[in-house]
């Protein structure tokens, strides 16, 4: 089986896959990847690709779900505990509601509650977080 390997100038016929792997390894180990500029370009491209793919993983819904009518808030276990309101979480292509809970404070940090955001194509739940 022959593999055609194209260089910048002309096609080269390579007789097997092992030789192709050897040639690619040699080409990549030369000055191509050793230059700082090329390394930065590859890392930047990978970062941009990952950010774009993460954004596309977000689930939007046409209408945001209604808040549950009954929210059960158990007694505060300790005087310094903070109540975290219920959150929405993604379950496949829709959202499910998770009840709130008490949690100990986090060293001077404040809890920012989650909220619904209007996005292109529908609604998206922005999760709560510590700040």
pLDDT in tens, 43-65: 777 766 665 555 445 567 777 77
Q: Residue 42: pLDDT above 60?
A: yes
Statement to judge: residues 108 and 51 lie in one domain: no
Statement to judge: residues 32 and 71 lie in one domain: no
Statement to judge: residues 74 and 46 lie in one domain: no
Statement to judge: residues 87 and 120 lie in one domain: yes
Question: Residue 33 in contact with residue 20, Cβ under 8 Å?
Answer: no
pTM of the model: 0.50
**Domain limits for position 19:** 3-56
Statement to judge: residues 10 and 66 lie in one domain: no
DSSP 72: -
Contacts of 85 (CB under 8 A, 6+ apart): 71, 100, 113, 114, 128
Please, how many CA atoms are within 13 Å of residue 39, restricted to the half-sphere of its CB? 7
């Amino acid at each position: 089986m022959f593999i055609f390997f194209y260089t910048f100038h002309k096609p080269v016929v390579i007789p097997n896959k092992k030789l192709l792997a050897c040639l690619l390894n040699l080409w990549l180990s030369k000055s191509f990847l050793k230059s700082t500029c090329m390394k930065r370009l590859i890392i930047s491209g990978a970062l941009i690709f990952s950010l774009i793919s993460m954004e596309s993983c977000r689930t939007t819904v046409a209408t945001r779900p209604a808040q549950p009518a009954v929210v059960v808030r158990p007694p505060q276990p300790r005087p310094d505990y903070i109540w975290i309101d219920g959150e929405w979480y993604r379950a496949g292509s829709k959202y499910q509601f998770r009840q709130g809970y008490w949690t100990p404070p986090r060293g001077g940090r404040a809890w920012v509650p989650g909220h619904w955001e209007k996005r292109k194509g529908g609604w998206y739940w922005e999760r709560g977080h510590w700040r």
